[in-house]
Structure 1
């Protein structure tokens, strides 16, 4: 039996984006343990085990980071997994180094799969972090990734070719040990168009993401204020509160903001998407492929997003949405307003672009099955996986 350990920095992120891979691994007969940071998870369903491990997500912390290395090493030496899947930057560096050390001690995994969903605020080429501590942290991460990439059995996955090319150009990884996989996968059985895609009045515009300024929430709110009192348009905000993130947008401010309707964290995102006319994500963040944009395309909802890598993977300008240039909150709000005015002047455009987005989703490798199968093939012996799913292809 193949033993696999998955380590992710946040339990909520794991449950929303990576759970289906673990369930599929369990279906192949693998013995799977999932270790996450963030909030402690409830009892997992039968088929895999869960452990909680505190992981500092927003900065490098010597004591907590050393503890991640220590606990990862102890797990690898005790459980002796055949493969590990390390998701996001902190587990990649800290647990990755622990996995290599466990090998030296005779009990490390032979396969180390590292998934970088997006380069984020620290590693993005457009990062504005200039502090000495940030530059030092980035140098240490670079050195760690370069070291891990030189070890046998280590493979990296990215959501965009731009992210992969950036690390290739910087000499952190090689072409032989890197793969681009289109997002985390969206289930078309859950995310699908509403039966009636008529244009609604008012036009409902949704921001759904983590409640961060770098995700463009400040620009979205500023644009919404421009339309205050306009009965033809309604602005909705749904998303997770990040209480410890220094870039967070205070929940209290959103509740008091008359220009928007604040929905809080929404569990039934498929239903919400089928009730809106446009998804807006004016992100300035180092994104992978934002899941909300893939979900919108699967639901035949057009998107208004930033002309950045990641967003461009799923949004085509004037085809299934509108891409606006990155900038400060005021400049992006002005671009959002101009785009919304175009939709209000020609509401049928929403339906045309929504259908185009659905076609793009169906023609791409964005579905949950296609994405899951690629990860499983990287973690489990190809012959075993092929015997389980002969009809599925990597495309």
Structure 2
């Protein structure tokens, strides 16, 4: 049985980590699968998050996945830790002799691919889970990452893009050739989100969450970081509140901007209507309460949370950036607006809240579109890719 070793810095509840865990789980019946990961201390996970990840790793272990925690494998740049991680990975690859090393996200992709190449691993695959060439860092840092990716492409057999938008960015920026850029979306377990769209007692759930039973609810889910645009959404709600003064804004997630969101909401006089729920294991249920789901990202590799929102029967408003247009067709299964444009975002949210017929149409089309991004479809494409590189 061939060995595949995956490498990622953080094993948490973020989209890239969840995608990687699902990949390991879904391929363990065909390969010997190992997942090398950092200790995820940078994620500052809550007890509930840690427990959820532990449940997932225990389930994966029962399926045969071998987990290899590595303290030196961290997300931030640290010359000493990075060097230690590199040599530890190199020796692991020498010892385990994997047929494939599959790295995930930028930092793990740099260290892991170099170690695999020097260990003469025959097949190297990298999934960036959304590039960092704009929106994340300063122009200088982004350019540095671009140069590194252009160099590392030459020791990579295949790059995996989550969307056409991401793949086109790689081609446009000169990172790789079309024949070695594979499109495999991030798959989602749809059924629990479908069930959320058919909640039996939404009023009781709203009461338990401290939400109004009658007012409009606009919601988002994800990291509360600048790249995700949570402050843009809050600014847009300033316009929405002019028409719907009692509407509530719900953030499901956590991050560096949490306190700033609270402070700004207070200065706007709407602190009681802005709910920061933190990370939740029942996000699928909470999504089922939203009258409008918003993803205001400044850049986004794919935005798998949009698939979840559509499956939960939410009408969607999102930024027209990165891979999002792959998932959302404007005025068909959602509304697209320019990123970092609070006025356009507010207008789109109001269109949804004002127009029940539009809402019904977006929901119906979203239910159809989300089927394309199922976990089953993702795993089938991954199996095809692995078979291709192993049989070359």
User: TM-score, structure 1 length as denominator?
Assistant: 0.81
Q: CA deviation at 1:275?
A: 1.8
Alignment partner, residue 261 of structure 1: 275
Q: Could you tell me which runs of 5 or more consecutive residues in structure 2 were left unpaired when the two chains were aligned.
A: 42-52, 203-212
Contact persistence 1:186–1:368 (CA under 8 A): yes
Q: Which residue of the partner structure matches residue 386 of structure 2?
A: 379
Q: Distance in 1 between matches of 2:382 and 2:107?
A: 20
- Counterpart of 2:170 in structure 1 is 167
Q: Which runs of 5+ in 1 are unaligned?
A: 104-108, 242-247, 385-395
**Alignment partner of 2:75 out of 57, 60, 77:** 57
How far off its partner does 1:300 sit? Answer: 2.1
- Equivalent position to 1:294, from 298, 307, 319: 307
Instruction: Quote how far apart the aligned CAs of 1:172 are.
Output: 2.6
Tell me which residue corresponds to 2:364. Answer: 355
User: What is the RMSD computed on CA atoms of the aligned residues?
Assistant: 2.8
What is the CA distance between 1:130 and its match in structure 2? 3.0
- SS of the counterpart of 1:293? helix
Report the CA distance shift for 1:381/1:324 in structure 2 as closer, same or farther (over 3 A).
Answer: closer
SS at match of 2:318: strand
Distance 2:305 2:169 in 1: 24
Residue pairs, 1:46-125, within 5 angstroms = 46=62, 47-53=64-70, 54-58=72-76, 60-103=77-120, 109-120=121-132, 123-124=133-134
1:389 maps to none
1:180 aligns with 2:189: no
For the 8 Å contact 1:303–1:320, the answer to whether it is kept is yes
- What is the aligned counterpart of 1:202 among 212, 215, 223? 215
1:319-356: CA deviations, max 9, x gaps?
Answer: 122111123xxxx2222221222223223322221111
TM-score, normalization by structure 2: 0.82
Query: In the superposition, relative to structure 1, how do residues 146 and 63 fare at CA in structure 2: closer, same or farther (>3 Å)?
Result: same
What CA distance in whole angstroms lies between the structure 2 residues aligned with 1:140 and 1:62? 19
Three-state SS of the structure 2 residue aligned to 1:264 is coil
Q: Count the aligned residue pairs.
A: 354
Deviation string 1:172-203 (CA, Å, 9 cap, x unpaired) is 31222221112x101122221523699x8422
CA distance in 2, matches of 1:167, 1:343: 34
Q: Which has the higher helix share?
A: 2
- Change in 2 beyond 3 A, CA 1:162/1:340: closer
Given that residues 86 and 115 in structure 2 are in contact (C-alpha distance below 8 angstroms), is that contact kept between their aligned partners in structure 1?
yes
Kindly tell me: are residues 135 and 24 of structure 1, through their superposed partners in 2, closer, same or farther at Cα, counting changes over 3 Å? closer
